[in-house]
Amino acid sequence: MKYVFCGKSGLQLPKISLGLWHNFGYTDDFEEARNMIIHAFDQGITHIDIANNYGPPPGSAESNFGKILKENLASHRDEMIISSKAGYLMWDGPYGNGSSRKYLMASLNQSLKRTGLDYFDIFYSHRYDSTTPIEETMQALIDMVKQGKALYVGLSNYPPDKAREAMAYLNAQHVPSLIYQGKYSMFNRQPEEEILSVTKEFGSGFIAFSPLAQGVLTDKYLHGIPEQSRAADPAGFLKKEQVTEELVGKVRKLNEIARQRGQSMAEMAVAWTLRDERVTSVIVGTRNVKQLQDNLGSLNNLSFTQEELTLIDNILGGATL
């Protein structure tokens, strides 16, 4: 595993981190979840990323992780970076959603209880909430650090202008934003337009999620939509109609470049996301140990020639997902 300093901090993160957004809830295979987390740690993935609403049902990914940590990895707590977040709908009523101090503090305490932790290494404001003043949200994050319930704080899914405003407030209070988490892949290059320059300006790291565009940037959909896939799940975020023939045609061409590089499509997609030095780490979400190991294979070839990058840009042609 390769480790990189996160922004201007003294904290190093692995190039690849494991996210528990999917496949770690009560409706999933617990033993497979256990195997993935243990295998990830054994391979040097020291960073595990969760959120209060990950499941399903919401909260169950944190609870399952807490059980695995207690039973298998408790003695290694100080070798791990564990993050969680709050911001999206978690419970009914006026205090179970958004970015108010009330909701964030309640969510933090609930997440600590579910995971069995005394503190999170990183706690994020999961989204910008236009109904709550940024100062209120940022002060809640600052107070989490002062209370010893979070070592660092971060932002996720904030528009660049609001991220700039939030980071400026945090810097003024001497609790800087350690990291910004955003969606970034070959099919979602929006971070390149502004947020990566903002994170660099404020000395914050950047960690990408969905580098495989929820599986589209793999060989999974090259011959149709498999039954056991996110696009086949009616409750999933990826819809069948989004996996168009045009998009799959681009992946087929990209897959040929990957083959010439001695990589799988997934390995190349992860490596491509890490090509920018402003990207600290990439969060991968996997269904089983084999998929996790495949993603780890991207570390064997992280370099791209200018010719390869130009070919990839030409194939993508501004396509988005």
Residue-wise pLDDT tens for the chain (321 aa)? 999 999 999 999 999 999 999 999 999 999 999 999 999 999 999 999 999 999 999 999 999 999 999 999 999 999 999 999 999 999 999 999 999 999 999 999 999 999 999 999 999 999 999 999 999 999 999 999 999 999 999 999 999 999 999 999 999 999 999 999 999 999 999 999 999 999 999 999 999 999 999 889 998 877 656 555 554 455 555 556 777 888 888 999 999 999 999 999 999 999 999 999 999 999 999 999 999 999 999 999 999 999 999 999 999 998 888
Q: Angle 7-51-148 (CA atoms, 0-180°, nearest 5)?
A: 65
SS3 189: coil
d(CA 156, CA 53): 14
- Radius of gyration of the chain measured on its C-alpha atoms: 19
The CA-atom distances, in angstroms, between 126 and each of 43, 77, 84, 134, 289 are 28, 24, 9, 13, 27
DSSP character string of 99-168 = S-HHHHHHHHHHHHHHHT-S-EEEEEE-S--TTS-HHHHHHHHHHHHHTTSEEEEEEES--HHHHHHHHH
Encoded tokens for 127 = 């989204």
The CA-atom distances, in angstroms, between 245 and each of 236, 238, 239, 249, 255 are 20, 15, 14, 6, 15
SS3 content of the chain, % helix, strand, coil (to 5): 45, 15, 40
Give me the pLDDT at residue 97, please. Answer: 98
Question: Which of 17, 120, 107, 116 shows the shortest CA–CA distance to 64?
Answer: 116
